[in-house]
Each structure stands twice: as structure tokens, then as C-alpha cells.
A and B are shown apart, each in its own frame.
Chain A
Amino acid sequence: MSNPMKSPLSRRRFLKLAGTGSALAAVSAACAPAAAPAPTAAPAKPAAPAATSAPAVIAKPFAGKELTVFAGNHHDTNVRDLWIPLFQEKTGAKVTYTSIGGGDADAKYAVFLASQDGSQDVLYSWETFTAKYGRGLFEDLSGFKKPLLDSLNAVPVKALTCLGKQYGIPFDSNMAIFMWNTELYQKAGLDPDKPPESWTQFAEHSKKLTKDGNYGTLFTLGDGNSSFFTFLSIFNSTGALLLSEDQKKIMVDTPEGLQTMTAFYDGVVKDKWIDPAGLTINSSIEQGKVFRGGKIGHYYAFPNHYGLAMDATQSQIVGKVKTGIIPGLKLRSGSGNGFEGYSMNRFSKNKELAMAWLEFTVSPEVQKLVALKWGRAPALAATFNDAEVKAAAPQFAAVAEQVKYPAPRYGSPFYFDVGTAFNDHMNKLLKGEGTPKQACERVQADAQKAIDAYWAKVK
């Protein structure tokens, strides 16, 4: 964990000021009439913003207050270095930023929840976190300003809800799109301007791309989360529902489930155009590295991978990358999402400032930073039409198109066990054990058992 915000004050001076501040606060609190509101209770209420305007945090209503932000360390160079100075400038609040390895945040949140720790006011989140920690750790944000919420892409907004409650505010529309290597396309005799438009075409392209030690594509299947995500990325393009709205019934052993499972089986086992190394890879970052090393022809990629692929310090395929939408199984397309946002700690004693932070993260100014500096598709719909964004990030055109197709992630409190069921049985299937139909039946049985076990525990 790191706490890299540096104060220009010396420790001695800071303590002196803090001590003086506390003493003054204590004196003023003691002198104030009993019925007077506490200084932290009511900062000036900002005016309701227009759909795409900045939230009204301009009057520095939080001067002298402190906000604690807890994030994954992949937020450091953007949230810590760009957003926080801006927020401090606008609100007058001091922000203390703490980050942790993204994979370790889960364990940390479990500790926050177990100890009902409110020391961190806002916590970074994504669909699984909002589902897992919504009930216990995150504040229900259903009362979040409606015009502001309506100005965001509906898909990420919905993704950070669980059973009808809004547990997080998304700051991006980070969903997988399609990315291909134009040079490998040419070498395989494929038109680099014509990506596949269906799974059948994708398979045909991939077969041609599988040569010279390269594979057509690679999917991450190394653990429960990645297996489930990968399955969903393809399953979603059938248009079918995987988990019922009440989260009580999973539907894998269905024609659409079988179609998806068969697609994987054919690619890995039968026709061998999906790199089997994916069975041990659990991160899209690793997957992107293989693509940038020029070892696969095309893949389902998060939009920020485009920037990485165009960075000569990290890529061997600069200038040879194009983006489009994912070729679908039944529908034209479908995807999986990696939307991220921020949630409010329900144990926080600083909720108004926390709310100001959430509003700030979806302000046009920050959303432009998300697009231009982070390379992620913004959550604010209007930012897609910003001329500067359009010019600098051509991959967002694909996102704007991709967002029209289904991309649910089915975050749930039992996500881990459901993911484990997928991982277990897909792994066996893709090593040649059993048939796709049997794999569907087994996933269905194990995942449903885990779901039933969860609901049986809920009073």
C-alpha cells in the first residue's frame, strides 16, 4: 500500500497547524449555540447541474475538510496525479489518497467491512465489488442527482447497481472491443480493413492467422474471474440472459450456453486457433502483452490497450493496430465490461464531501481526462462527442458502437463461486475432457448449487 500524496508542509509545521486548528474548532464548538449545526454538517448546497455541466463544487465549500480516497494502484497516475489536485483546487478540501494492488483490494475491503472501518470515505469499485460489498460496505446512492446520472452511459450505471440499488458511480465505459494486427492480417491474406463481423468469420480469420508459431487469438481463462468474463464476452453476443434479474437462477445449460461453450471448444481443442496459454492467463494486461508482442492476430481488448499498442516503448506493433466492434455469435456484437467507478463507504463520517467527489468524477473536466490521459472510454455520454477526444482517441468510435450491444458482467455476492464453476469445467473441457454439453451441465449444476447455498443463508 502506498500513500504517496506529499505535503509541502514539514511534519512539525503540519502538526502545529493541525493542533491549532483543532483547538480553534474545539473553542468555536464550545461557544456555538447548542442547536447550531456542526461545521461539517452543511456546506453550501451546490446548484443542480445541467446534464453535462460540471457539478457545483466551485465555491470551495469544503475548505479545511479532508477526504480520504482509496483506490487500486492502477489509478495512481490519473486519480492521484491529475484528478486530486483539481478536486482540491475546486473544493478547498485536502485529499489523502491511498492505493493498493487491484488484486488485493478485495481482501482489504473485507477487512474494512469486518471492522466497520470508515476511515476511507470513497472506495474504488467495479461491478463485482458493488455486488459483493453493496449490502455491507457501500452506501446506497440511489438518491444521486438524477440529471447527472442520466447524462452517463446507461450500461455502466446499471452495472454498478445490485438488486435495484446504486452502489457506485462509474467514471468510465470501459468495455471490451475488437482489436487486430493489420500486418498479421496482410500476411495471412486477409483484408486489414475488413475485420470479422460474426463468430464464424472470426473463426475463419483466426485459422488463417494461426501459423509461424502465432495463434489467431487468445482469451484469458486462468482463474474464475477471467473464465467467467471470457465466457460472458461471447455469451452476451447471443442476446440471452445468464442470470435471472433476482439473481436466483443461472442459465448456462441452454442452447445459447451450449453455443458459446462449443465455440470455445472448437477454437481450442478441435481447430486449435485459440492459444491454449490462455488457460493459465488471468489478466487482460498479460493478454495485451502477447498481442503487443505480435503473437496473436486479434483479440477482445479493453480500449486503453490501443494506446499501449501504439506506444513504442511497450509495443512491437505500433501503427499496425485497428479497432472495431466484437464479432458476435447470434447478434452482430456483444461484449464484457470492466467498468470502474467510486463508491461511498457507508461507515464514512464525511459523506457530503464523499458525494462531492463522486459528482466530481463524472464532471466533463474529469471525463475528458479519463478519455485523453487514461485512454479509457468515458462514462459521460457527451464526452464522446468532444472534438479533442474524437481526434485523439479513435478507438472510442468503436466503444460508442459497442455500447449499443449487451455487456452485462453479472456481478453478484456469489461471483467467486460461480466463476470457479466456470473455470473448473471450462478448463477440463478445453483440455479435451468431455463434451461442451457436459461442460454446460456441470457448470449449471455447480453454479446453481453455489447460488442456492448463498440464498439459503440469507434470512
Chain B
Amino acid sequence: MDEGRFGALLITPTALVMLFVLAVPIGYAFVMSLNRIELTISPDWDFAGLKNYADLLVNKQVQAAVPRTLFFAALNVLLTTGGATIMALVLNEPFKGRKWVRVFILLPWAVAPVVSGVMWRYMFHQSYGLINALLRGLGVIDKYVVWFDDPTVALSIASIATAWKALPFASLILLAAMQSIPESLYRASKMDGANAIQRFWFVTFAHIRPTVIFVVVLQIIASLQAFDVIFTLTRGGPGQGTVVLNYLTFVNAFERLSLGSATSLALLLALLIVVLSGLSLSLTIARKPKA
């Protein structure tokens, strides 16, 4: 047996499992998305072709959720990637207790998403929240601020909460990439007279860029899938101000019981994730130096 066939044989069991746990549910969801399934009316499925998709494209709630989702994702990617890079830079420097700090910063990552959402909700609680108490104690505010009253602020808090949780993992990935940079490159750049910013840009960032893009892709995927943080923090409010696409999928499925509409939105969202992730990954491939 040649090597190729042997390789194919080896991956066959895994491929079959993946086919069962991925392709079958996705295929089933696709079939659902082609049907009108309104459980408040009847459990029957009525074939509707691409009508669910067509309806979504002109649906005002979907149209309103798209910019919110993109804003949430952009802020989350920015905060996570920026924060993780800074954190990785700090952890890459030698200092006493570095090992303990590296372990300690993993804590947010270990917190369950729902617990994290509830925790942030109470931190920003208008009456009992830590943030208001601190600001009032410092004399910055004289009256409690209702933080979740404004959609942009509420969405920003949701984004910060998501970034806070993602930061440890992202920073560890970047730290691993930074530690693979040969020390000789820093010495050479110093000899050439490069300052700290130049060393970061031309040595560190140049080497970790593929990893940064990987982190960006992960965060894009996580942001577009955001549900738990919105559910626990704002429930889509104030008004519909923090309803992002994945939350709207939940609403269509479990509040409206419109399963056809919900699955078509879920599949469109999956497509959006694939496209955006593909675009980001293509940046890495395009910039790879030719052999």
C-alpha cells in the first residue's frame, strides 16, 4: 500500500465520525431551513424553498443586528488582540514570579461564560455594582449610572467581558510565538541602532504576525457566535439594542418557535464566519515569503 492510501485509511475513522457529528446535523439544518416550521401553529414542515433566506435578507431585525454584530466583533477583536499582545510582551520579559503570573492570568479563561456574564452584570449593576461604587467613592459621579441603558455602552461592556475571558488564551498563544523568536535577531537589531518600537515592529511583530492573524480569526469566530454573554448580560436590551445575529437566531428558534427561519439565519451566520475567517487567513498566505 502506498503512503497516500495508507494515510487515507488512517483518517477514515475520524472522517466518518466528523461526517456523522458535523455533516449530518448541518445537512439536517439545511433541510430545515428550506421549510416553514412554525411550532406555535403546527409541528408540520411545509416546503418553502429559499423563502426563509429571502425573508431574512429584507428582515429589519436582521438588518439592524448586522452592524451591531460587526461592532461587537470589531471591538472584541481589537481588545483581545491588542490586550493579548501587550500581555504576552510583559510575560515574555524576565521578572520575579513570572511563572505564577502566567498561571494566574489563566483564571478568566477558566470561568464559565455564563458565570462571567453574570459577574460582569453585577459589576455594572446600577444600584449594587462595584463600578458605580468605585466611581462614587472616587467622586467621579454623584449619582449612580445606569450602564446598560445605552445600547452602545451595553454592547461595549459585553465586548469587554468577552475580551476579558478570551485574553489569557490569546496571550499564551502569542507568548509561545514570541518565545520562538531567536534572541540573536534582537541583538542584531540593537547593534543596528533599532529602538524598542522598531524592535517590536520589525522583529517581534514581523515574526508573530501569522499567530496574530490566527488569534484574530479565532476572535472573529467567537464574536460572531456570541450568545451567552448577551443572554446573561443584557438579554438583547435595552430595547433591541444588543441583539446580535446569533442572539436573534436564539430568539427565532426559542421565543418565536420559527425553526425554519432560525436555521436559515444560523447557516447564513456560519457562512459569514467562513467568509470572514477565510479572508483573514488569506492575508497570512498572501504575505508569506516565497520560497
Contacts and interface: CB of A to CB of B under 8 A. Distances in A.
A197 B285 CA distance: 73
A113 B39 contact: yes
Given A136-B43, A280-B149, A457-B41, A110 B257 contact: yes
Interface string B127-147: 110000000000000011011
B126 A280 contact: yes
Contacts of B212: none
B44 to A, nearest CB: 10
Interface in A285-306: 290, 293, 295
B255 A222 contact: no
A223 interface: yes
Nearest to B142: A213
A222 B147 CA distance: 12
Contact of A413 (B40, B43, B238, B251): B40
A416 B41 CA distance: 15
A274 interface: no
Nearest to B124: A280
A458 B239 CA distance: 28
B117 interface: no
Contacts of B209: none
A277 to B, nearest CB: 4
A427 interface: yes
Given A107-B254, A110-B254, A279-B146, A427 B38 contact: no
Contact of B257 (A132, A423, A431): A132
Contacts of B250: 107
Contacts of A183: none
B255 A276 contact: no
A280 B146 contact: yes
A50 interface: no
Contact of B240 (A114, A116, A213, A424): A424
Given A280-B146, A295-B127, A106 B43 contact: no
Contacts of B143: 213
B240 A293 contact: no
Interface string A192-229: 00000000000000000000010000000011000000
B122 to A, nearest CB: 11
B127 A279 contact: no
A213 B127 CA distance: 11
A418 to B, nearest CB: 12
B256 interface: yes
Interface string B246-276: 0000110111110100000000000000000
A11 to B, nearest CB: 29
Nearest to A134: B40
B144 A132 contact: no
Nearest to A415: B255
Which of A277, A282, A417, A431: most chain B Cβ within 10 A? Answer: A277
Interface in A91-145: 106-107, 110, 113-114, 116, 132-133, 135-136
Nearest to A427: B239
Contacts of B239: 423-424, 427-428
B42 A136 contact: yes
B149 A113 contact: no
Contacts of A458: 41
A277 B39 contact: no
A420 interface: yes
Which of B41, B43, B234, B255: most chain A Cβ within 10 A? Answer: B255
B43 A116 contact: yes
A132 B128 CA distance: 35
Contacts of B207: none
B236 interface: yes
A290 B144 CA distance: 14
Given A279-B146, A279-B238, A280-B237, A132 B40 contact: yes
Contacts of B257: 110, 113, 132
A116 B39 CA distance: 11
Interface string B37-74: 01111110000000000000000000000000000000
B148 interface: yes
Nearest to B154: A280
A282 B237 contact: yes
A277 B251 contact: no
B235 A114 contact: no
A103 B108 CA distance: 26
Contacts of B236: 223
A416 B255 contact: yes
B243 to A, nearest CB: 9
Given A113-B257, A279-B238, A290 B127 contact: yes
Contact of A277 (B38, B43, B146): B146
A457 B43 CA distance: 13
A431 B149 contact: yes
B39 A282 contact: no
A423 B253 CA distance: 20
Contact of B253 (A110, A222, A290, A428): A110
A282 B239 CA distance: 11
Interface in A383-439: 413-414, 416-417, 420, 423-424, 427-428, 431
Which of A136, A223, A280, A282: most chain B Cβ within 10 A? Answer: A280
Nearest to B262: A110
Nearest to A277: B126
Nearest to B243: A420
Contacts of B259: 114
A293 B147 CA distance: 20
B254 A136 contact: no
Nearest to A417: B256
Contacts of A290: 127
B235 A222 contact: yes
Contacts of A414: 40
Contacts of A135: 40-42
Contacts of A417: 256
B238 A222 contact: yes
Interface in A266-284: 276-277, 279-280, 282
Nearest to B257: A110
Given A277-B126, A280-B148, A416-B251, A222 B237 contact: yes
Given A106-B254, A106-B255, A295-B127, A114 B237 contact: no
5 contacts: A110-B257, A135-B41, A277-B146, A280-B149, A282-B235
Given A114-B43, A293-B127, 4 more contacts: A116-B43, A136-B40, A280-B126, A293-B128
Complex A-B, nearest 3 residue pairs according to Cβ-Cβ distance, in ascending order: A413-B40, A107-B254, A280-B148
